[in-house]
Amino acid sequence: MATPTTLNLRKHLRKCFQSLAAFALLAGLVVAADDWHPSKYGKDDTIGAANNLTPTIVVEAAGLVKTGKTYSLGITLGPNTPAFGTRTFQIFTFPTRPDKPGGTNKLTATDDFVLTSVGIGSQLDGLGHIGINNVYYNGHKQEDFLRPNGLLRFSSDRIPPIVTRGVLLDMVALKGGTLAPGTAINRADIEGAIAKQRTPIRKGDVVLIHTGWLEAMAEKDKKRFMETEPGLGKEGAEFLASLGVVAVGADQWAVEVIPAEDPAEVFPVHQILITKNGVYLLENMNVGPLAADKAYEFLFVLGQPKLAGAVQATINPIAIR
Ligand code: UVW
């Protein structure tokens, strides 16, 4: 028969079990929240989805060149280029030998000096750029790799040449016009474009999204261009990462939709692609000319600027078809 003491003991034990169960559930959630590191490419990996590039992919992508037409996907960077936050660009040009021409051949010369944010204009976001509560790609803390004179790890000059098949997802053609700011592009939209264009996305591809925002707004209203934009949503980002793409680009400044689908979140697509999956972002890509030619797949060529310790990279990838 249960005495008051044994009843109290049972009550106490039940409470203990309940607390333990709650703790186990919480621990499980914490583990699930961190299950993106170590990286699937290995605990020492520093190049993320660039691991999906192979010589075979390069050879196959080269086979997409049929006409020899080239497309410069970078926009020209200048002091008036729309920029995030306090980012700026300045160039100074001057004669190198102002006093007297050199030698008997009277050499004269001109030099330049550029003072710029790297994350301005057409840019690649490297794996040291974005973290989740100070945890970055492959579980690294910012203080482990950030130094005032350059990154110790994830420097963009270390990203291998990205030479692969490029796929343009023409959302403007799919939706019948420039996407409205705040429009999120998700899995159904991506699959819709893939089906319409007959361009499946493969492991190792670079995917570029045409929203129409760069052509519609970058010159017309720089402030509005930077305040909001149509772009990739979280589910779309998860989907593209699951396909093994190396990089995702768009013709707007953050690749992702602004404001975010959940207005309480800040750049969540950056975290899904860069931090969790090691997928690079390519921002402000001038893909309008590709869309105009219905060039939905092409050879994509991008070599990184060799800036030691850089977080991002100013880029001008070339599409060739
Ligand atoms: C941020 O730095 C958050 O923006 P972006 O990567 O688009 O330049």
What digits encode the pLDDT tens for the residues 36-60? 999 999 999 999 999 999 999 999 9
Q: Which of 88, 116, 124, 129 to mutate to test the pocket of ligand 1 (most atoms within 8 A of CB)?
A: 129
Ligand 1 pocket (Cβ < 6 Å) reads 84, 119, 125, 253-254, 267, 270, 283
Q: What percent of the chain has pLDDT over 70?
A: 90
Query: Which residues make Cβ contacts (< 8 Å) with residue 220, sequence separation at least 6?
Result: none
According to CATH, the topology of domain 39-76+119-320 is Glucose Oxidase; domain 1 (3.50.30)
Give domain limits for the chain.
39-76+119-320
> 23 or 221: whose pLDDT is higher?
221
Cis peptide preceding 98, ω within 30 of 0: no
Residue nearest to atom 3 of ligand 1 (CA): 267
Calculate how far, in angstroms, residue 277's C-alpha sits from the geometric centre of ligand 1.
17
What is the chain's alpha carbon radius of gyration, rounded to the nearest angstrom?
24
Calculate how far, in angstroms, residue 271's C-alpha sits from the geometric centre of ligand 1.
11
Calculate how far, in angstroms, residue 127's C-alpha sits from the geometric centre of ligand 1.
12
At 34 the pLDDT is 72
Whether pLDDT at 267 is above 80: yes
The alpha carbon of residue 166 and the mean position of all alpha carbons in its chain are separated, in whole angstroms, by: 15
User: Is 156 buried (19+), middle (13-18) or exposed (0-12) by CB count in 10 A?
Assistant: buried
For the CA of 283, the closest atom of ligand 1 is 7
At 33 the pLDDT is 54
- Nearest residue to 276 (alpha-carbon basis) of 131, 153, 161: 131
Calculate how far, in angstroms, residue 84's C-alpha sits from the geometric centre of ligand 1.
7
Calculate how far, in angstroms, residue 248's C-alpha sits from the geometric centre of ligand 1.
14
Q: pLDDT tens digit string along 122-160? A: 999 999 999 999 999 999 999 999 999 999 999 999 999
Name the one residue in this structure whose structure tokens are 């021409």.
101
Query: Which residues make Cβ contacts (< 8 Å) with residue 131, sequence separation at least 6?
Result: 142, 271, 275
Cis peptide preceding 79, ω within 30 of 0: no
CB 197 within 8 A of CB 170: yes
Q: Which of 88, 283, 314 to mutate to test the pocket of ligand 1 (most atoms within 8 A of CB)?
A: 283
DSSP-derived 3-state class of residue 305: coil
Whether pLDDT at 78 is above 90: yes
- Cite the beta strand spans of the chain per DSSP E: 70-72, 89-95, 110-116, 123-125, 146-147, 150-151, 162-170, 184-185, 206-210, 231-232, 247-250, 280-283, 297-302, 312-314, 318-320
Q: Which of 127, 225, 267 to mutate to test the pocket of ligand 1 (most atoms within 8 A of CB)?
A: 267
Buried residues in 53-64 as b, exposed as e (16+ CB within 10 A) = beeebbeebeeb
In the numeric block, which tokens belong to residue 238? Answer: 């998860």
Calculate how far, in angstroms, residue 115's C-alpha sits from the geometric centre of ligand 1.
19
Query: Which residues make Cβ contacts (< 8 Å) with residue 161, sequence separation at least 6?
Result: 301, 302, 303, 304
Calculate how far, in angstroms, residue 266's C-alpha sits from the geometric centre of ligand 1.
10
In the numeric block, which tokens belong to residue 31? Answer: 């583990």
CA angle 290, 293, 295 (to 5 degrees): 60
CB 315 within 8 A of CB 157: no
Residue nearest to atom 4 of ligand 1 (CA): 254
